C-alpha cells in the first residue's frame, strides 16, 4: 500500500472491512475475533499500531517480527481459529512509524474463534448465536443457488398450470416470435429450467424456482413456511399502519398485488420522455418490487417488506450478500441471487437485463422526488426511495408547500435535523446502543455487550464515538450514574 492509500484509510476510519488495533503490550485477543469476522464476511484489512480513531502510534520496530510470528502461531492453532487459515502480515513504514498490515481474504468456509462464530457488522465484530443467523452465514458461503433445490414429491397438481396461458401471452407481448409461443406447457417449464435433478439422490422433480413461480399457495407455504411480503402504509399511524396487505402467493401474482398497493398509495406525477408521458411511480415501484421478489433468499426466516412512509418508501428482503455496502451505478456488478427466477421475469417482460434496475432507479428517482435512492447490500438487502409529494420535476417545484403554523415548522425542522444527524453520523450498532440507553439510562456496558452480542471493548469504542459527536452524556459516576441521550 502506498502512502496516499494508507492516509485515506486512516482518515476514513474503521469500516466493515477495516479494523485498527493499538497493539500496545502485544496483540490483543480480540484481534483474532476480527480475523474470524472478516473471514465470515467479505474479508478486510487489519492494521496493528493504529488507534481506534485512525491515529498511527506504531509498534516497537524490534518487536514487529516477533509479533508477526506470534500472530501466525495463533491463527494456526485450531483451538483459537477453526478452520485455521494462512495469512501473511507485512511490516509497513508510515510517517517514520512501524505498523503491521494484515490482509484477511473472504473465506468459503464458516470460521469460529475459540468456538464462537463472529460476523462483521459495520465496524464491530458480532457474536453469532441464533440458529437463524448461523444459517444465513452458511447460505452466504454456498456456491449453489437455493432456487435449484429439487422437491421430488411436488406433482403437477401442486402447480398453477392455469397461469401458463397468461404467462405465454406476456412473453409474446414482449417478443412476438418468443420461443414459448409454440411450446407445450411441459416444454415451457423445461425450457425455463423449472425441473432439475438432485445431485445427492439422483431424483428429478420440480425445483424451488418452479414452486415460487407457479406453486399453489398452500404448497409454497409448505416449502417455505415463512414466505410472505408485508406491504404497509405508515403516514398517519406511524407506530402501526394505515393500510396493510400480506402477500403470500406465487411471485407472478405477488408482483401485481404489490404494484396495486403502490398505485393506491403513491402519487403518479406527470413526466414526459420526449413526447410520451410515462409513469414515474410505476417505473420506480416496478424496479423495487422486482428486486425484492426475484433476488430474495427464500430459505431465510426474514419476511420481505414493502413500506410507504411520509418521506420515503423502502423494500427489505433476505439476501445472500456478495460485497456489502452501498450500491451505485459506478460500483455495481450484476449478480443474480436466483438466476432462473430472474430469467423467467425477463422472459415475460416484468424485468429487463441484469443491472438495469440500479441504473433506472438512479435515473428516475431524482425526477420523482428530487433526491437519489439508496441501495444497500447486506444480509438484508434494502432499497430506499425518498418521497416528497410537493416536488415536481416538470413544474420546477423543488420544495413542499410551507406550513403556516410556525411552531409546527420549527418543531418538525428540529426533529428532522436530529433524525438526519443520527442517520448520517451513527452506524447500526450505535443506533441499537442509543435505543438501549433510552429504554434504560442506567444500563451497564456489560449488559449492552450481552444484549448486542459484541465484546465490551467494542461497546466502549462506540460509546466514545457517541460522546465525541455529542449524542450522549454520562451524568454521575461510572457505578451509580446514568446515560443522557441528547
**Computed from CA positions of residues 211, 212, 213, 217, in that sequence, does the dihedral angle turn out positive or negative?**
positive
Count CB neighbours of 21 within 10 A: 21
Residue that wins the pLDDT comparison between 331 and 475: 475
pLDDT band, very low/low/confident/very high, at 297 (cuts 50, 70, 90):
confident
Q: What is the pLDDT of residue 144?
A: 58
User: Is a pLDDT exceeding 70 seen at residue 399?
Assistant: no
Give percent above pLDDT 70 in the chain. 90
Q: What is the pLDDT of residue 46?
A: 95
Q: What is the pLDDT of residue 1?
A: 72
User: Is a pLDDT exceeding 60 seen at residue 160?
Assistant: yes
The cell for 267 is 402519487
pLDDT band, very low/low/confident/very high, at 455 (cuts 50, 70, 90):
confident
Comparing 10-14, 182-186, 198-202, which segment has the lowest mean pLDDT?
Answer: 198-202
Q: What is the pLDDT of residue 203?
A: 84
Q: What is the mean pLDDT of residues 336-364?
A: 86
User: Is a pLDDT exceeding 50 seen at residue 311?
Assistant: yes
Comparing 13-17, 53-57, 403-407, which segment has the lowest mean pLDDT?
Answer: 403-407
pLDDT band, very low/low/confident/very high, at 312 (cuts 50, 70, 90):
very high
112-150 tens-digit pLDDT? 999 999 999 888 899 998 887 887 787 777 655 688 889
Per DSSP bridges, beta strands 18-21 and 44-48 are parallel
User: Among 319, 250, 296, which Cα is nearest to 258's?
Assistant: 250
Q: What is the pLDDT of residue 442?
A: 85
Q: What is the pLDDT of residue 354?
A: 67
The size of the chain, in residues, is: 486
Q: Which domains does the chain have, with CATH numbers?
A: 3-129 (3.30.950.30), 146-223 (no CATH), 229-405 (3.30.565.60), 407-485 (1.10.10.10)
pLDDT band, very low/low/confident/very high, at 318 (cuts 50, 70, 90):
confident
The dihedral over CA atoms of 355, 358, 364, 365, expressed in degrees to the nearest 10, equals 170
Q: What is the pLDDT of residue 469?
A: 85
Q: What is the pLDDT of residue 47?
A: 96
**Computed from CA positions of residues 36, 42, 48, 53, in that sequence, does the dihedral angle turn out positive or negative?**
negative
Average pLDDT score over the chain: 86
**CA pair distance 390, 401, nearest whole angstrom:** 6
Environment class of 129 (CB within 10 Å of its CB; exposed 0-12, middle 13-18, buried 19+): exposed
15's CB contacts (< 8 A; 6+ apart) are 122, 123
Q: What is the mean pLDDT of residues 173-190?
A: 92
**CA pair distance 460, 448, nearest whole angstrom:** 10
User: Is a pLDDT exceeding 90 seen at residue 67?
Assistant: yes
Comparing 49-58, 235-244, 340-349, 420-429, which segment has the lowest mean pLDDT?
Answer: 420-429
Cell 398505485 belongs to 263
Q: What is the mean pLDDT of residues 296-324?
A: 86
Amino acid at each position: 500500500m502506498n502512502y496516499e492509500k494508507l492516509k485515506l484509510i486512516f482518515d476514513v476510519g474503521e469500516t466493515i472491512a477495516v479494523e485498527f488495533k493499538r497493539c500496545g503490550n502485544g496483540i490483543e485477543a480480540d484481534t483474532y475475533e476480527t480475523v474470524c469476522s472478516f473471514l465470515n464476511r467479505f474479508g478486510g484489512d487489519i492494521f496493528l499500531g493504529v488507534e481506534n480513531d485512525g491515529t498511527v502510534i506504531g509498534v516497537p520496530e524490534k518487536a514487529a517480527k516477533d509479533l508477526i510470528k506470534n500472530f501466525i502461531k495463533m491463527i494456526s492453532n485450531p483451538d483459537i481459529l477453526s478452520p485455521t487459515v494462512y495469512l501473511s502480515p507485512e511490516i509497513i513504514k508510515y510517517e517514520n512509524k512501524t505498523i503491521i498490515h494484515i490482509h484477511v481474504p473472504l473465506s468459503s468456509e464458516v470460521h469460529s474463534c475459540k468456538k464462537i462464530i463472529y460476523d462483521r457488522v459495520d465496524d464491530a465484530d458480532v457474536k453469532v448465536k441464533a440458529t437463524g443467523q448461523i444459517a444465513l452465514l452458511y447460505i452466504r458461503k454456498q456456491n449453489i443457488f437455493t432456487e435449484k433445490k429439487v422437491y421430488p414429491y411436488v406433482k403437477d397438481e401442486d402447480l398453477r398450470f392455469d397461469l401458463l396461458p397468461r404467462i405465454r401471452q406476456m412473453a409474446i407481448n414482449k417478443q412476438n416470435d418468443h420461443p414459448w409461443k409454440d411450446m407445450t406447457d411441459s416444454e415451457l417449464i423445461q425450457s425455463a429450467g423449472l425441473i432439475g435433478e438432485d445431485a445427492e439422490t439422483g431424483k428429478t422433480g420440480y425445483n424451488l424456482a418452479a414452486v415460487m413461480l407457479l406453486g399453489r399457495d398452500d404448497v409454497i407455504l409448505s416449502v417455505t413456511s415463512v414466505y410472505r411480503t408485508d406491504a404497509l402504509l405508515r403516514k398517519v399511524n406511524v407506530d402501526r399502519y394505515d393500510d396493510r396487505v400480506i402477500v403470500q402467493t406465487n411471485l407472478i401474482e405477488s408482483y401485481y398485488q404489490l404494484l396495486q398497493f403502490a398505485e393506491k398509495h403513491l402519487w403518479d406525477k406527470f413526466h414526459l420522455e420526449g413526447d410520451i408521458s410515462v409513469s414515474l411511480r410505476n417505473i420506480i415501484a416496478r424496479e423495487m418490487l422486482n428486486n425484492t421478489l426475484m433476488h430474495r433468499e427464500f430459505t431465510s426466516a426474514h419476511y420481505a417488506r414493502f413500506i410507504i412512509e411520509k418521506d420515503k418508501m423502502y423494500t427489505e428482503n433476505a439476501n445472500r450478500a456478495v460485497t456489502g455496502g452501498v450500491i451505485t451505478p459506478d460500483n455495481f456488478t450484476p449478480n443474480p441471487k436466483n438466476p432462473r427466477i430472474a430469467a423467467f421475469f425477463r422472459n415475460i417482460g416484468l424485468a429487463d437485463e441484469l443491472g438495469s434496475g440500479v441504473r433506472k432507479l438512479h435515473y428516475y428517482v431524482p425526477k420523482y422526488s428530487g433526491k437519489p435512492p439508496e441501495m444497500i447490500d447486506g444480509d438484508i438487502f434494502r432499497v430506499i426511495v425518498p418521497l416528497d409529494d410537493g416536488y415536481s420535476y416538470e413544474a420546477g417545484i423543488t420544495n413542499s408547500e410551507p406550513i403556516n403554523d410556525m411552531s409546527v415548522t420549527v418543531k418538525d425542522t428540529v426533529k428532522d435535523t436530529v433524525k438526519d444527524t443520527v442517520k448520517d453520523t451513527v452506524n447500526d450498532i450505535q443506533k441499537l446502543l442509543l435505543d438501549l440507553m433510552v429504554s434504560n439510562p442506567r444500563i451497564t456496558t456489560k449488559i449492552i455487550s450481552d444484549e448486542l452480542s459484541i465484546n465490551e471493548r467494542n461497546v466502549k469504542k462506540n460509546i466514545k464515538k457517541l460522546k465525541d459527536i455529542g449524542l450522549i452524556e454520562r451524568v454521575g459516576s461510572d457505578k451509580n450514574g446514568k446515560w443522557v441521550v441528547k
